Amino acid sequence: MKLREELILNMTSLEINDNKEEVIERLKKHSPAAYVAEFSVPTLSFHAARDRVVPGSQARLLHRLLKKTDTEHELVTVKRAAHVYHNLSDEEIDPLVEKTIEFMTSHLK
């Protein structure tokens, strides 16, 4: 079983190949894209280029939806990262933390 299929099974208790429509419906609540219309806070998102769980198309979808609502946002693709960034060194993580702090600090009111 592929990693993504295993995660879907764990999150929904359903096999995607047997219950695709219901799986999609259950997983919608976990997608940030589903909530874009409900908030308009500045958004910084990171996407791991080697992510085998969340496809890059989902990060780009969120980016497009935020743009449509004129929500200030930034999408950063982390080139060497896997889904949970466990494969990155501290030297690679530090700039991401700095970017996060800068983004948050610039939006404090």
**Which pair of tokens denotes residue 50?**
């080697």
Percent of the chain with pLDDT over 90: 48
pLDDT exceeds cutoff 70 at 39: no
Report pLDDT digits (tens) over 5-24: 887 878 788 888 888 888 88
H helices of the chain, in order, are 3-12, 20-27, 56-68, 90-106
Closest by CA to 78, choosing from 50, 53, 97, is 50
CA 20, CA 24: separation in Å to the nearest integer? 6
pLDDT for 28 beyond 80: yes
Q: How far apart are CA 104 and CA 108, in angstroms?
A: 6
The model carries a pTM of 0.76
